[in-house]
Amino acid sequence: MRLPIDRCTNPRLDADAVANLKLSNVPSDHLYIAEYAHMEWRKERIAPYRPLQLTPLSLGLHYAQQVFEGMKAYRMNDGRIGVFRTDRHAQRFNASLRRMAMPEVPTDMFANAVHTLVDLEREWVPPGPDSAYYIRPFVIATEERIGLKPSEEFMFLVGGGPFRPVYPKPLRVRVERQYTRASKGGTGYAKCGGNYAAAMLPTILANEAGYDQVLWTDAHEHEYIEESGTMNVMFFINGVLTTAPLGDTILDGITRDSILVLAREQGIPIDERSVSVTELRERILDGSLTEAFGVGTAASVAPITTVGIDGEDYHLEIKQDALMFGFKQQLLDIRTGAAPDAHNWMTIIDGFVK
Ligand SMILES: *Cc1c(COP(=O)(O)O)cnc(C)c1O
């Protein structure tokens, strides 16, 4: 389906400016919008990027009935533009929406919204390794109401902007023994705004203590490693790629899944199991834990060099030939077209806008 497009008449940047952009938080010129009322999505359109009109009593602003996704479009080596694993993001979006009692967005509607927006914004997709156009689909509850109730009106929006390569220093993470990101039966597996608001104070406290990120542990004992910041976390222990199993406290990361697929194909042994803090400490000390890294759409693979446990810092050497950098390169090669896309992970963006 062709979406109605109200084109922006004064584009803010041209392709040269986008390629030279230093910042990552500049929105591109257009926004996709759809509205939900009377049990159906309607009024799909693309409009110039501008502030929204919302009633101050929108339920989403008070009760955090809100869900989002984060995904990327890449400029490939031959100049074409590809979006990574749209279907998988659509499925996760719907899992999050169901948890928050919000209406699902049909997969083809999600895909058409994302791909049409990216096609329209192709000048905004920066070239170069690790650069991308970051895509932010989200749904907010817009019904006007003071009292608590599940909203019956929503907006589905997709925006985005250029994402410049970040070459962060290897991470210093602190095992969190007090605060909780996610608990059994809770919303940890959903990408809903409330999870991130609740993580802000613990993250600030970890920053103040000299760490980049929190290493989240289970809500019950604060002893089993779950995730790091807004990334899934992986370890190499005696050559085995080890990561927490999916469940209601773990966000089902698409980078996590992609790396597990690649590792399995290469015959790298995988163990999806919980690693305790006690084991983490012992295995860093005896050298059997050789790599620790976060995985997510933003950084792809982020090496961890220091783990703070109960006031003590434990160090990991980051080697140039580490296996984690192999995964990072393989993902990059698929995204740039340097390697064949054997799993059909990329959607080539062409012909969505007339
Ligand atoms: C988004 C997110 C991830 C990573 O998921 P990707 O699909 O790989 O980007 C991991 N953990 C949390 C808490 C997240 O919000």
CATH placement of domain 15-164+343-348 = 3.30.470.10
Can you tell me the mean pLDDT for 3-15?
87
Can you tell me the mean pLDDT for 320-347?
97
Q: Give the pLDDT band (50/70/90) at residue 166.
A: low
8 Å CB contact between 267 and 240: no
Residue 26 has a pLDDT of 85
Buried/exposed code over 248-280 (b: 16+ C-beta within 10 A; e: otherwise): ebbbbbbbbbbbbebbeeeebeeeeebbebebb
- Kindly report, residue by residue over 24-74, the tens digit of the pLDDT: 678 999 999 999 999 999 999 999 999 999 999 999 999 999 999 999 999
Q: Return the higher-pLDDT residue of 266 and 17.
A: 266
pLDDT at residue 23 is higher than 70: no
Q: Give the pLDDT band (50/70/90) at residue 16.
A: confident
CA distance 328 to 121: 26
Can you tell me the mean pLDDT for 304-332?
97
Secondary structure of residue 162 in the 3-state scheme: strand
Our mutation pick for probing the ligand 1 site, out of 231, 248, 259, counting the most ligand atoms within 8 A of Cβ, is: 231
Can you tell me the mean pLDDT for 134-163?
97
Say what percent of the chain tops pLDDT 70.
98
Residue 19 has a pLDDT of 75
- Kindly report, residue by residue over 63-109, the tens digit of the pLDDT: 999 999 999 999 999 999 999 999 999 999 999 999 999 999 999 99
Average pLDDT, rounded, for the chain: 95
Domain boundaries, the chain: 15-164+343-348, 171-317
Question: Which ligand 1 atom sits nearest the alpha carbon of residue 252?
Answer: 5
Read off the tokens for 135.
């895509």
Q: Give the pLDDT band (50/70/90) at residue 114.
A: very high
Single-letter amino acid code for the residue at 248:
D
Residue 20 has a pLDDT of 76
Q: Return the higher-pLDDT residue of 354 and 104.
A: 104
Rounded to the nearest whole angstrom, what is the distance from the C-alpha of residue 16 to the centroid of ligand 1?
A: 31
pLDDT at residue 167 is higher than 80: no
Can you tell me the mean pLDDT for 128-132?
86
Task: Judge: domain 171-317, CATH 3.20.10.10.
Answer: yes
Residue 24 has a pLDDT of 67
Rounded to the nearest whole angstrom, what is the distance from the C-alpha of residue 230 to the centroid of ligand 1?
A: 5
Can you tell me the mean pLDDT for 290-305?
96
39-43, 270-274, 296-300: least confident range: 296-300
Rounded to the nearest whole angstrom, what is the distance from the C-alpha of residue 191 to the centroid of ligand 1?
A: 8
Our mutation pick for probing the ligand 1 site, out of 173, 191, 226, 230, counting the most ligand atoms within 8 A of Cβ, is: 230
Q: Give the pLDDT band (50/70/90) at residue 127.
A: confident
Alpha helices in the chain (DSSP H): 15-20, 59-63, 86-99, 107-120, 193-208, 254-265, 277-285, 323-336
CA distance 158 to 33: 7
Question: Which ligand 1 atom sits nearest the alpha carbon of residue 253?
Answer: 5
Q: Give the pLDDT band (50/70/90) at residue 17.
A: confident
Which pTM does this prediction carry? 0.97
Rounded to the nearest whole angstrom, what is the distance from the C-alpha of residue 251 to the centroid of ligand 1?
A: 6
Which residues approach ligand 1 with their CB closer than 6 A? Answer: 70, 191, 227, 230-232, 251, 253-256, 296-297
Residue 11 has a pLDDT of 85
pLDDT at residue 9 is higher than 80: yes
Q: Comparing C-alpha atoms, which of 194, 151, 138 is closest to residue 59?
A: 151
Can you tell me the mean pLDDT for 6-34?
84
pLDDT at residue 179 is higher than 90: yes
Residue 148 has a pLDDT of 96
CA distance 117 to 113: 6
Question: Which ligand 1 atom sits nearest the alpha carbon of residue 71?
Answer: 9
Secondary structure of residue 167 in the 3-state scheme: coil
